[in-house]
Structures are given as structure tokens and as C-alpha cells.
């Protein structure tokens, strides 16, 4: 019985291991791509109103917002593939020097962000 259970579970574990995400969030809320590891190019997740280090964002129209929270333009200036633009009412942190497969996922927009240098928040509108 035990041998049968072990041989049945082994393929399932191999399948689950191959479905790992492209990156992860550490205990501080920083996103790390599996490709880049800990290289300081992280985006910190936060909604804390009292986080004085985070930059406040006020999204007024769809497009790209820089690390200071200012509108930086629409996709025409950045050329992000349509499949990678976030849906309406969602945001995505975009780091131009990262490959497409290591970009963070689309997520619910937050009031404040800690962005890596040269990164943007894409607001879907």
C-alpha cells in the first residue's frame, strides 16, 4: 500500500514542481524574479498608509507611471506587447530591462508602491 501511494504521488509532485511561477514575493513583500534572484531589482507590495518610504500613486488615465507617481505616457512610447498590458482596473509593475517571462503579474492597483529603479506601474484604466 505504501509503495503504491509513493509511486502514485511522485508524478504529481513532478508536475507541481514544473508549474512554479516565474518569481516570488519574499517576507518583506519584495518581488524577485527567479531569473534575476536577489539583485536589488524588486518591487515592494504595500498598501500601508503610514509607509513613508513608499510613493503614492493617483491614477488618472490608463498608461505608464514612473517611480515618482507621475504619468509617463501610453504604450506607444514603451511598446509592451498587448498580452502583457493589465486589464481594466488592474495594474502591473513593468521593468523594461527584464524579459517578458519575468515581469510581475497583473494585480489589483495599490495606493503606494516601492519600485525598482527605471520601473513603471502600468495602469489598465
The per-residue pLDDT for range 62-116, each reduced to its tens digit, is: 999 999 999 999 999 899 999 999 999 999 999 998 999 999 999 999 999 989 8
Give me the mean pLDDT over the 40-67 stretch: 73
Least confident of 8-17, 50-59, 62-71, 106-115: 8-17
Binning the chain into helix, strand and coil, the percentages to the nearest 5 are 20, 25, 55
State how far Cα 96 lies from the chain centre.
Answer: 12
- Going by C-alpha positions, the residue among 53, 67, 69, 60 that lies closest to residue 95 is 67
Which cell numbers hold the place of 124?
Answer: 489598465
Q: Give CA separation, 20 vs 15, 16, 23, 112, in Å.
A: 9, 7, 8, 28
Q: In whole angstroms, give the CA distance from residue 122 to residue 73.
A: 10
Would you kindly state where each structural domain of the chain is located, as residue ranges? 2-123
pLDDT at 10: 45
CB 92 within 8 A of CB 65: no
Amino acid at each position: 500500500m505504501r509503495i503504491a501511494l509513493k509511486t502514485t504521488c511522485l508524478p504529481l509532485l513532478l508536475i507541481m514542481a514544473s508549474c512554479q511561477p516565474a518569481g516570488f514575493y519574499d517576507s518583506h513583500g519584495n518581488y524577485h524574479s527567479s531569473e534575476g534572484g536577489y539583485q536589488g531589482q524588486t518591487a515592494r507590495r504595500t498598501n500601508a498608509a503610514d509607509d513613508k518610504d513608499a510613493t503614492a500613486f493617483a491614477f488618472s488615465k490608463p498608461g505608464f507611471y514612473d517611480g515618482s507617481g507621475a504619468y509617463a505616457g501610453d504604450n506607444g512610447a514603451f511598446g509592451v506587447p498587448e498580452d502583457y498590458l493589465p486589464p481594466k482596473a488592474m495594474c502591473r509593475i513593468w521593468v523594461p530591462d527584464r524579459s517578458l517571462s519575468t515581469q510581475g503579474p497583473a494585480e489589483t492597483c495599490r495606493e503606494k508602491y516601492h519600485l525598482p529603479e527605471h520601473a513603471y506601474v502600468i495602469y489598465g484604466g
